[in-house]
Amino acid sequence: MNAARLGLLAAALASALVAAPAAERFREANDLVRAGDYPKATAVYGELAASGQESASLYWNWAQAATARGASGEALWALLRARELDPGDRADVERLRESLNLDPAEIAPEPLAAAGRAARRFRLDLVALALLALSVGAHALVRVRPGIRWGLTTARATLALGLLAAAAPVAASFARPTAAVVRRGAPLLDAASPTADTTGSLREGEVVPVLEASGAWLRVEDNAGARGWAHSADVRRLDAPPASARD
């Protein structure tokens, strides 16, 4: 058996060794939810997320545990994080948004982020590559056999469609990262420090653009345009596992 095959086998075994305990911990957390121990279940979900064992189903179950203990903002964050991992899963986002009295714009401050989810859901990056490859092939065929009437039309059409498919992922790359407010009355501070002056408070469940990060602090902008610093335990990013789970 050559070195490459041994490497692949070792990687597969390592993956299996990691997956088995993670699956057991996931079942343990689900059992805790059924037993009504929601805080401990949430802690286990957080540990799994921090270790890289993220999935839409993990966050969906996390949302159920958060809802059961009255943490609607955390539940909404978990569902939105699940949607980031599985763009086709809308789950109970709208129901929670309405229960928190939030407008649709307050949970979608970055329109380009929606383009990114659509691109991931329909794998538009791969579609674009395939169409552009077809266009190159069609152009090459036209050069070799210029008498083919449909060749140039096909080359132009696949080029146009390929560029169109690539537009969504490219546009999404310009979207600012966002975070959801998970704590009711989370303070907005004028500096990245617990002793800084409070300039306002954030609405539970609101999704805010992240302007800057400094350690465990995020500089954000709320729906009304107010800017300030919030702790990552109160405002959790949607593009990564929660800071509290990683720290």
Instruction: Give tens-digit pLDDT for 76-117.
Output: 999 999 998 888 766 689 999 999 999 998 999 888 887 777
Instruction: Answer yes or no: is 107 within a domain.
Output: no
Confidence of residue 235 (pLDDT cuts 50, 70, 90): very high
Residue type at position 48 = L
Please indicate, yes or no, whether residues 168 and 182 belong to a single structural domain of this protein. no
Please indicate, yes or no, whether residues 142 and 189 belong to a single structural domain of this protein. no
Nearest CA to 94 out of 76, 119, 82 is that of 76
- For 16, the domain range is 3-101
Q: When comparing pLDDT for 8 and 69, which is higher?
A: 69
Please indicate, yes or no, whether residues 53 and 10 belong to a single structural domain of this protein. yes
Instruction: Answer yes or no: is 108 within a domain.
Output: no
Residue range 173-186: mean pLDDT, rounded: 92
- Range ranked top by mean pLDDT from 75-79, 152-156, 157-161, 167-171: 75-79
Please indicate, yes or no, whether residues 64 and 7 belong to a single structural domain of this protein. yes
**Residue 26's pLDDT is what?**
93
Query: What is the total count of domains within the chain?
Result: 3
Please indicate, yes or no, whether residues 17 and 87 belong to a single structural domain of this protein. yes
Instruction: Answer yes or no: is 239 within a domain.
Output: yes
Backbone angles phi, psi at 56, to 5 degrees: -60, -40
Instruction: Answer yes or no: is 109 within a domain.
Output: no
